[in-house]
Amino acid sequence: MSKRVLLILSFVAVVAVLVPYSCIKDKGLIDYSATGYPQDVARIMVRKCATSGCHDEVSKDAAAGLSLVSWDKLFEGSRAGSVVIPYRPDFSTLIFYTNSYNEFGTIQLSPKMPVGNVPLTYDEVKTLYDWIKSGAPNADGQIKFSDSQKKFYVSNQGCDEVTVFDAQTMLAMRMQSVGKITSYVEAPHFIKISPDNQFWYVSFLGAGVFQKYRVSDNAFMGEANIGLGSWNTFALSSDGKYAYLVDWSSNGKVKQVKTDSMLIKNTIGALQWPHGSVLNVTNDTLYVTSQFGNYLFKMPTDFSNVYEVVLDGTTIPNNTSSLDPHEIFMNPELPVYYVTCQKSNEIKVVNKITSQVTATIPVGDYPQEMAISTSKKYLFVSCMEDVTTFGASKRGSIYVINYLTNSVVAKVYTGHQPHGIMVDETNGRVYVTNRNVISGGPAPHHAASCNGRNGYVTAIDLNTLELVSGFKAEVSVDPYGYSITN
């Protein structure tokens, strides 16, 4: 054999050894920068998730509409809403479907992803879990929704969690734990955003505190120790300086809290079953419904006196009437205010000056909450236990009332036991929280992290008064309280 032939064979042998080694090495060093994911996360997403027949752009319609080809696509969500909630792997379905290890949560859904392939390893699940816990940043460290301009909030009173939505995309963007004690559920019942959009506040059925959080980042800002009570609702003054908290009990009370110091300034008691609350435009008069009765309380905000406004055409207040006023709604542009009467299934329209009922509007069974669209001249009313309008198989309805004529213009089924209503004039939608706490409603997408069944949020198109197609965002247990930024 000639030296030339030997030299060629030696070269071929070297190449045969180096090429496989080079391919293996390059495979680990693939440039994933175009995906926007951090490298270690991209390695999992690209190789095992965003594959042909699964969560890529071509196949996503058969995979819940979810594309994982990039960080931006991940945060477009799926047909079921958000799959990753920054900082909260315990509420991110990406973990639920990929996790096989109890260390990272006991909610482990099927089919296990990647479908038909070997499940993710412990290290891979840990990588995803730790990444989401750190905010699920992109390769440049950006956290999604940090610049969200309009948000709406849903308090899940069965789980001591508040779900924060980005109103533009309608995706759940954050989950914030609330309350003081972790050994039992304190039931965050009512939530409200300050008029300047700087803070949000929450009251509890089972906690003696009233808490304050910052809108920009949900940071805890303080709490008022208000004592034990069933703190159902509260009203905020138009300058945001005072909150008036209502204790729903047979010997109920109202506490005035200064929101800068979170200290109690004043208290009034001996109110029978006070519930819904609202302040007038000048912030000098507080209105509170007496839920088991035919009247509401009207009092100056210095609590120097209490008056009773009777709503049933009689002159005598009583606590065994056919009305049972639940909530009260007042808009500064209108000469009247509105009261939902959950026993008589109607809305009472009351003149602000004379305190006389000027109209009675029949609605569905068990009316609860109200919201208004000034652009469309609509008053929206949630009728939580309505089995009359759409039949027993569809419990609940939203009644839409033209408040200029006091006439019902539409009835919408939004989900099982609708309660909270938020009007979003900017995006032309009305968001509805559906409690889904009793049998007959749809089975939740997955098990809850707390005892009970997850509820969900749906939306009505403000222009067509029809449900927004494809939007049904599951939240946690018993979504009750609600609020939206101004």
Taking only the tens place, the pLDDT of each residue in 201-258 is 999 999 999 999 999 999 999 999 999 999 999 999 999 999 999 999 999 999 999 9
Q: What are phi and psi of 151, to 5 degrees?
A: -135, 155
3-class SS string, 114-157: CCCCCCCCHHHHHHHHHHHHCCCCCCCCCCCCCCCCCEEEEEEC
Measured CA angle at 154 (ends 198, 443), to 5 deg: 165
Q: Are 168 and 128 in contact (CB under 8 A)?
A: no
Give the DSSP letter of residue 467: B
Q: What sign does the dihedral 117-135-182-153 (CA atoms) show?
A: negative
CA distance 139 to 7: 47
Alpha carbon 9 to its chain centroid, in Å, reads 70
Residue 29, pLDDT score: 53
What is the tens place of the pLDDT at every residue in 276-300? 999 999 999 999 999 999 999 999 9
Amino acid in the structure at residue 425:
E
- C-beta atoms surrounding 14 within 10 Å: 10
pLDDT above 70 as % of the chain: 94
Q: How far apart are the first and last CA of the chain?
A: 88
Residue 21, pLDDT score: 28
Question: How many residues are given for the chain?
Answer: 486
CA distance 342 to 448: 29
Q: Which residues pair with 367 in a beta bridge?
A: 383
Nearest Cα residue to 234 out of 196, 205, 214, 261: 205
| Residue located via tokens 């300050």 | 194
- C-beta atoms surrounding 220 within 10 Å: 12
CA distance 148 to 197: 12
Residue 338, pLDDT score: 98
Alpha-carbon distances, residue 474 vs 99, 372, 455 (angstroms) = 20, 24, 6
Q: Are 125 and 99 in contact (CB under 8 A)?
A: yes
What is the secondary structure of 30-41 as a DSSP string?
Answer: ---GGG-S-HHH
Amino acid in the structure at residue 438:
I
Q: Give every CB contact of residue 422 below 8 A, 6+ residues apart in sequence.
A: 152, 371, 430, 431, 432, 482, 483, 484
Whether the per-residue pLDDT at 450 is higher than 80: the answer is: yes
Q: Are 85 and 174 in contact (CB under 8 A)?
A: yes
Q: For residues 425 and 62, which has the higher predicted lDDT (pLDDT)? A: 425
What is the tens place of the pLDDT at every residue in 127-167? 999 999 999 999 999 999 999 999 999 999 999 999 999 99
CA distance 280 to 192: 17
Averaged pLDDT score across all residues of the chain: 92
